[in-house]
Amino acid sequence: METKENQLNIIEKFSRWIIESITVKLFSIGFLILILLIPSSWIQDLIRERQMRAEEVIREVSNKWSGSQTVSGPILVIPFKVKRKIDHGKDGIEVQESTEKYFLLPEKLDVIGEVNPTVLHRGIFDVAVYASYLNINASFQRPDFKQFDIDETLVQWKDAYMIFSITDLRGINENPEFLVNGVPKPTEPSSNIGISVRRFLPEVNSLYPQSTQGTTDLSSNGIIAKLGWLSADDFTGNTSVKINLKGSNRLNFNPTGKTTTVKLSGPWNSPSFDGEFLPEGRDVNEKGFTANWRILHFNRPFSKEWTESNTQLSGAEFGVKLIIPVDQYQKSIRTSKYGLLIIILTFISLFLVEITQRIRIHPFQYILISAALIIYYSLLLSFSEQVGYNYAYWIASTATVTLISFYSFTFLRSKKLVAIFTSLLIIFYSFIFIIVLQQDFSLLLGSIGLFLIVGVLMYFSRKISWYGDR
């Protein structure tokens, strides 16, 4: 009998040790935190999936309206014949004749444009598109063929034309007006005008704020204007282009002039000026924006004239971006990365309450609280798509803190303890909100905040008898 009673006493003591042991409690809480990493990663995957869906909608709407536009030109193109002698020995000398092209950029290029944005809606997503009116004036100097060893008698003036490069021809919604020395010239569209330009890809493909925008080289589309010159005497250098151009997200320009000036304005109060050059002057207010650029040929990586086909006019684009920011996804991802920190701080707070107040909290109660802390991020994401991140954060935070606070009455059983626990949760979520908004100072604020939290934990745990000593 004594043996059985001793065995029962040992089992009871062991069971009591498991229930009351601080070490076992810490290990069980730590194990639960590790398990919660799995749903936390699911939440981040859900946020990325929703962001990809938003980007897909933006691409679909942009493709149907017209894509981002990059404007280059006008550029003067003059064909010339080249004669090459080929010695066939006994068979004599053969003269082969071929046609090449001489390209010339303007001395001065002035662009005045008005951008009228429109917000299109697809479900819960918004896409920024625009209709622009561009008035472009260019002046050319007479070509100097000698530096390319071009025989002026072989220049085909009758075939001379000008090209005006546009990324997406679908954006032209009215016939452009192309004037050379005040005389209208007939224009035709072309999908291959003999040059390559670099087009900016939409930034919405970027998942993280630090990601850089991509570019891609592609054969340029545009319009061609036949000049109808008969000889060098018909050359004139004054050209103007007036065009109504639709596009999405961005309107960019290539500084093809030896001196290029661009002035843009529009009723959009949150523009972003990007590319290789920032505007010399800008004015952004509630009514809209005005921006001015002035770029010299010293600033660009391509020459004024050339004869090689498919020369790339790249590396010097600039312009305005009208993308509606979908930063709720970026902010939600950043917030979810602090999810583990919130769970740890909440569990530590409850653990200290258990130790200091001798209150037992069942592991299942920890699980329910952690479930509320995880579902919080789903609430944040769904509400942020409807009302924006800031409002969504406080809606989700208030709902979660209220739920956990009412539930804590079941085990804390003291209004004072519930009030303290609720205050801690409010402090935790307010702290994370400040860190997320203050991107430039997030590391500094986060480090200081965590240091203070550790200090507070040390202070409140200083009198705890960890080994049961009295």
pLDDT of 150-182, one tens digit each? Answer: 888 888 889 899 989 888 888 888 888 898 888
- C-alpha distances out from residue 394 to 84, 85, 320, Å: 77, 81, 33
347-356 average pLDDT score: 77
- Rounded CA separation 218/228 (Å): 29
Name residue, tokens 């769904």.
Answer: 382
Question: Dihedral, CA atoms, 274, 277, 281, 287, nearest 10 degrees?
Answer: -20
Q: Which of 41-45, 143-147, 259-263, 340-344 has the lowest mean pLDDT?
A: 41-45
Name the range with the highest mean pLDDT among 25-29, 105-109, 426-430.
105-109
pLDDT tens track for 235-266: 888 999 999 999 888 899 999 999 999 999 99
113-131 average pLDDT score: 83
| pLDDT for residue 445 | 76
| pLDDT for residue 423 | 87
Q: Which of 199-213, 245-259, 275-289, 296-310 has the lowest mean pLDDT?
A: 199-213
Q: Which of 394, 403, 404, 58 is nearest to 249 (CA)?
A: 58
Question: Dihedral, CA atoms, 164, 167, 171, 174, nearest 10 degrees?
Answer: 10
Q: Assess contact for 259 and 108: CB atoms under 8 A.
A: yes
Q: Assess contact for 73 and 256: CB atoms under 8 A.
A: yes
pLDDT of 301 > 80? The answer is yes
Q: Taking the domains of the chain in order of start, what are their residue ranges? A: 20-50+329-460, 67-325
Which two tokens mark 147? 């530096």
Tell how far CA 97 is from the center of its chain.
51
Average pLDDT over the chain, rounded to an integer? 78
Instruction: Tell me the residue ranges of DSSP E strands in 140-249.
Output: 161-166, 177-180, 183-184, 187-190, 196-200, 215-219, 221-226, 238-248
| pLDDT for residue 237 | 84
pLDDT tens track for 62-116: 778 888 888 988 999 999 888 777 766 666 666 677 888 889 999 999 999 999 9
Neighbouring residues of 76: CB distance < 8 A, sequence distance ≥ 6: 103, 104, 105, 106, 140, 143, 160, 162
pLDDT class of 358 with cuts at 50, 70, 90: confident
CATH for 67-325 is: 2.60.40
Which two tokens mark 375? 């579902």
pLDDT tens track for 180-238: 888 888 888 876 665 555 444 333 333 333 333 333 333 467 888 898 888 888 888 89
| pLDDT for residue 214 | 38
Question: Dihedral, CA atoms, 413, 418, 419, 423, nearest 10 degrees?
Answer: 170
- The DSSP symbol for 91 reads G
Counting beta carbons within 10 angstroms of the beta carbon of residue 454, is it exposed (0 to 12), middle (13 to 18) or buried (19 or more)?
exposed
3-state secondary structure of 315: coil
